[in-house]
Structure 1
Amino acid sequence: MGETLNAYKIFVQRLGLMGATSILVALSTLMLIPVLTKSFGAVGYGIWIQVGVTVALLTNIATVGLLPSMIRFLAAEKNKEMIQEGFYSIISVTLLVISIILIILLIFSKPIAVGLFDGNIAIANLMAFIIFFACFNSVFLNYYRTFQQIRKYSLFTLSQTYLAVMFAVYLTLSGHDLFSVLIGLLITYLIFFFVMIYDIITEIGFKIPNFKCLKQYLAFGVPTIPSNMSYWVVESSDRYVISILLGAAFVGYYAPSYTLGTVILLLAPFSLILPSVLPEYYDKQEMDKVRTFINYSLKYFLLLAIPSLFGLSLLSKPILSILTTPTITLNGYLVTPFIILGTLIFGIYQIINNILILEKKTKIIGTIWIIAAVLNLTLNIVMVPHFGILAAAAVTLVSYLFAFAVTLHYSIKYFNFRFKFGFVLKSVVASILMSSIIVLINPEGVLNILIVVGLCAVVYVAAIIILKGINNKEIEFFKELLQRSS
């Protein structure tokens, strides 16, 4: 048991660093909302969001499912030659696919611009090159995740994120147009492309691969492509549907509330750590350790996510009124409760989903997300023209709920992690008590919101302790962890 706790302490320390990184990345996104919405309006911000959504989509396509393969097969690898072979095989395939995508994007830039970017062909062309380098950078960052080099992962992620933010803020406030801001984003990706590839080559050397492991990697990774693509449809295609059916301005109304609703997922980034931690114990048949990691991860994600669901739902309107324009706030604030509940459900999914990955049941995952994607896209096309952006938010919630329910059904078949659901009820009760403060005070303005959030945190923690949602052993565990980390 002591060895398990020690392993979990290392896990939590890494998780804390990843959590801090994710929070800072989330803050950077929130920082850009007032700068871009108040300078370029709902239409300009909608175009910015569409660029980000398209980058995410085509990055997933270009890596052809090889990023999870890197984690699954190289995370426990110690042989340097095998690491070189695996990494450079993945890079070579990525180069081939992303080059084809780049050419296609440039050829079809005009219709893409009309459908997504309010007719701006220059932005459509520029986006093609942004995607090219963003794709490689995602592979490089995945390398650091694979080998649990969390400090480097966090350093490069934060540096890349905040350099892009600084470019965006400076260029926007200097009076430049959105195209210039996106040039700044491209320059950022270029800089970190060279920094990270130099660092990785220095660490493992360079080798021309013979692709002897590629068949195995593709056999594992290709079945995840439908899953990744379908997940993108569920997570992001609503912006495309809204843009095509309602216009870019409505994407601008929808996106800030959506971003606010996804904050809880960034508070506990278990999906970034667990895939590289669990295979080592699973391959050694140390199932008690696997169960411990999954149960602790579920508990502490919900410990943060449940009060965030209550708090952010109630504070959505005053927070958005600070970050955006009155028009965007009034059109979008009701989106947040749907998105945050969907994000909570998806956060649970990301943890239990590791069971199917460990069992190499990626075809099941792919099938689940294909069905969820068809459900999502169909409902969005039918509902959005009649009920607007609120329908898109509700459809996202329904899609996540479906994926979670089916994944839970199959995961329990292969591995019973025996989670104690009594904690959920205690957290809900504590969150209701906490929420009464928000309802009574109804804060407005930055200072008042911060004060209320602080009061709510105190009330929630006190209620959880009184209700014995966290036991003394767990409190002592975190005290010791903090002492060792300081």
Structure 2
Amino acid sequence: MKKYIYLIKNMGLLTISSFGSKLLSFFLVPLYTSILTTKDYGIYDVFNTTIMLLIPILTSGMLEAVLRFPLTDKKNKNEIYLIGAKHLLRGFIILVLIYLVNYFFPVSIILKQYGILFLAMYFTAAASQLLQNYARGIEMVAALAISGIIGAVTVIALNIWFLIFLKWGLVGYFLANIVGMLLTTIYLLFALSVWKINPFKKITNKKLEKSMIDYAIPTIANSISWWVNNAADRYIIIGLFGLATNGIYSVSYKIPSIMTVFQNIFNQAWSISAVQEFDPNDSKGFYKNIYRMTNFFMVIVCSGLILTTKIFAKILYQGQFYTAWKYVPFLLISVLFGSLVGVLSGVFVAVKDSKRLGVSTVIGAFINIVSGVLLSLIFGPIGAALGTTLSYVVVWIIRLIDIRKYMHLSINLCRDICTYILLFIQALCILFTKSTMTTYLLQTIFFFIILITNYEEVRTLLKKIKH
């Protein structure tokens, strides 16, 4: 029972910092879509997704090691942080040099125009991610939760000030997010007592650094592949349909972000519990129960959001952004499978098998690119969403197979597959049913069928956990 309480406690702390702020940010979407142009939103989205790609590459994947190693090596936690900080600074210096080359010999005009903002956004994003991972590694979840509140309130307040009152447009949107991450970083530096650690100090524990590098290097491929799974659709759309279409497509992620909030909260808490409670035989059914409950919760939320997609779209998407609703159903399904992949990943993190994690995500990334391009050429921008969904399904299948090397996980696979098929049919129905009354009637029927199919098992699981 204690393991469930510990996981729930951590999720509760993270929910305080994440859910409220994300909810506020979610309802500010009409503000962004009414002030920023589709091209502006597209530029910001490209910068943001590019930074998410560069961080694991330029830090040599060390931020993942900063999360994993303190969980089982608390006595060397300061040295672990120092190693991570050094790799972060080296990577930032490389990025500054790349920016200078582009400034004097322009390859990207947009990067030259917004270069300083890009550098500031990269550094604050990388630094805050380093400290957030370290906080999870040393199990200071409360500090992590507070930092999330500080960052979110800052971003929301500054967005309102910069966009509505100062009318700074895209530059204001950049600055609000940069300052939010900066304040998060400053708070964590003091809360985690790492401000006194000199990042230029010589690393003495070379054996520890080598172990961290051995773990971190394979995670680069894993991180890049996840980035491809999360961002390839945007670049495919930019290449085939332009920045304006990407701006519309990017806005479509705002509804799936409701599921992503829960996914991220769970993944942050689960990364700690998965390591601490690892049992190859899963004799107490901890992993099995967590997987089944995650599956049930995300399936129900996914189905409910597909049902209400058009309602949310009318509230959130202003003007020409409204057409983004049609991309939402398949993106919701991709988040569902991403959540299940996150649960399975806990096993590989626990045994430090970063290579096997990398292989599955590389395959998923390849499928995402190939299928995304082909399906976009056939069906238009929605093909990119289909490609993303397909890639997550493939990674989920591979991880289910690979996990057998380390653990026997008992799940009702036949029932689950039937549920996923129902979700795909539900997504197709909302896209192709013209009559509003017929649409909501069918959607409601699908929702209750899925709920009834899964309810009994979850009730049983909850009884087991209580006892």
Common fold: TM-score over 0.5: yes
The structural deviation recorded for 1:346 is 1.4
Cα deviation code 1:330-380 (max 9, x no counterpart): 2x2121111111111111111112222333322122122222222222333
Q: Which amino acid aligns with 2:48?
A: G
Partners in 1 of 2:148 and 2:17 — Cα distance?
8
Partners in 2 of 1:170 and 1:333 — Cα distance?
28
Partners in 1 of 2:132 and 2:348 — Cα distance?
24
Question: Which of the numbers 287, 302, 318 marks the counterpart of 2:311?
Answer: 318
User: What does residue 214 of structure 1 align with?
Assistant: 209
Query: More displaced, 97-106 or 32-41?
Result: 97-106
Q: Is the 8 A contact 1:265 1:343 kept in 2?
A: yes
The structural deviation recorded for 1:421 is 4.6
Partners in 2 of 1:417 and 1:40 — Cα distance?
47
Q: Which amino acid aligns with 2:367?
A: L
The percent of aligned pairs where both chains have the same amino acid is 18
User: What does residue 127 of structure 2 align with?
Assistant: 136
Partners in 2 of 1:229 and 1:340 — Cα distance?
22
Question: Which of the numbers 444, 448, 462 marks the counterpart of 1:474?
Answer: 462
1:289-328 correspondence runs (5 A): 292-328=285-321
The structural deviation recorded for 1:100 is 0.8
User: What does residue 263 of structure 1 align with?
Assistant: 258
The structural deviation recorded for 1:324 is 1.4
Q: Is the 8 A contact 2:225 2:364 kept in 1?
A: yes
Q: CA 1:203 to 1:186, structure 2 compared with 1: closer, same or farther past 3 Å?
A: closer
User: What does residue 68 of structure 1 align with?
Assistant: 64
Cα deviation code 1:425-456 (max 9, x no counterpart): 89889999x99xx99x969xxxxx9xxx9x99
User: What does residue 116 of structure 2 align with?
Assistant: 125
Query: More displaced, 375-384 or 297-306?
Result: 375-384
2:395 is aligned with 1:414: no
Question: Which of the numbers 38, 59, 69 marks the counterpart of 2:55?
Answer: 59
Q: Is the 8 A contact 2:337 2:392 kept in 1?
A: yes
Question: Which of the numbers 269, 273, 295 marks the counterpart of 1:277?
Answer: 273
Q: CA 1:429 to 1:258, structure 2 compared with 1: closer, same or farther past 3 Å?
A: closer
TM-score by length of 2: 0.85
The structural deviation recorded for 1:233 is 0.8
The structural deviation recorded for 1:400 is 0.8
1:60-139 correspondence runs (5 A): 60-79=56-75, 82-108=76-102, 113-114=108-109, 119=110, 121-139=112-130
* 5+ long unaligned stretches in structure 2: none
Partners in 1 of 2:22 and 2:461 — Cα distance?
32
Q: CA 1:384 to 1:205, structure 2 compared with 1: closer, same or farther past 3 Å?
A: same
1:6-85 correspondence runs (5 A): 6-79=2-75, 82-85=76-79
The structural deviation recorded for 1:99 is 1.8
User: What does residue 228 of structure 2 align with?
Assistant: 233
2:353 is aligned with 1:361: yes
2:178 is aligned with 1:186: yes
Question: Which of the numbers 144, 161, 178 marks the counterpart of 1:170?
Answer: 161
Q: CA 1:136 to 1:304, structure 2 compared with 1: closer, same or farther past 3 Å?
A: same
Partners in 2 of 1:168 and 1:12 — Cα distance?
32
Cα deviation code 1:74-94 (max 9, x no counterpart): 113332xx1111111111111
Aligned residues between the structures: 450
Cα deviation code 1:151-176 (max 9, x no counterpart): 11111012112211211121111122
Q: Which amino acid aligns with 1:191?
A: L
The structural deviation recorded for 1:113 is 4.6
Partners in 1 of 2:81 and 2:53 — Cα distance?
22
Partners in 1 of 2:93 and 2:9 — Cα distance?
39
Partners in 1 of 2:171 and 2:236 — Cα distance?
23
The structural deviation recorded for 1:14 is 1.5
Partners in 1 of 2:140 and 2:211 — Cα distance?
24
Q: Is the 8 A contact 1:264 1:304 kept in 2?
A: no
Q: Which amino acid aligns with 2:177?
A: L
SS in 2 for 1:397: helix
Partners in 1 of 2:237 and 2:169 — Cα distance?
24
Partners in 1 of 2:111 and 2:96 — Cα distance?
18
Question: Which of the numbers 322, 329, 334 marks the counterpart of 1:329?
Answer: 322
Q: CA 1:361 to 1:77, structure 2 compared with 1: closer, same or farther past 3 Å?
A: closer
SS in 1 for 2:338: helix
Q: Is the 8 A contact 1:137 1:189 kept in 2?
A: yes
Q: Is the 8 A contact 1:271 1:351 kept in 2?
A: yes
SS in 2 for 1:108: helix
Partners in 2 of 1:103 and 1:472 — Cα distance?
58
Query: More displaced, 198-207 or 402-411?
Result: 198-207
User: What does residue 398 of structure 1 align with?
Assistant: 390
Q: Is the 8 A contact 2:364 2:391 kept in 1?
A: yes
* 5+ long unaligned stretches in structure 1: 444-448, 481-486
The structural deviation recorded for 1:272 is 1.3
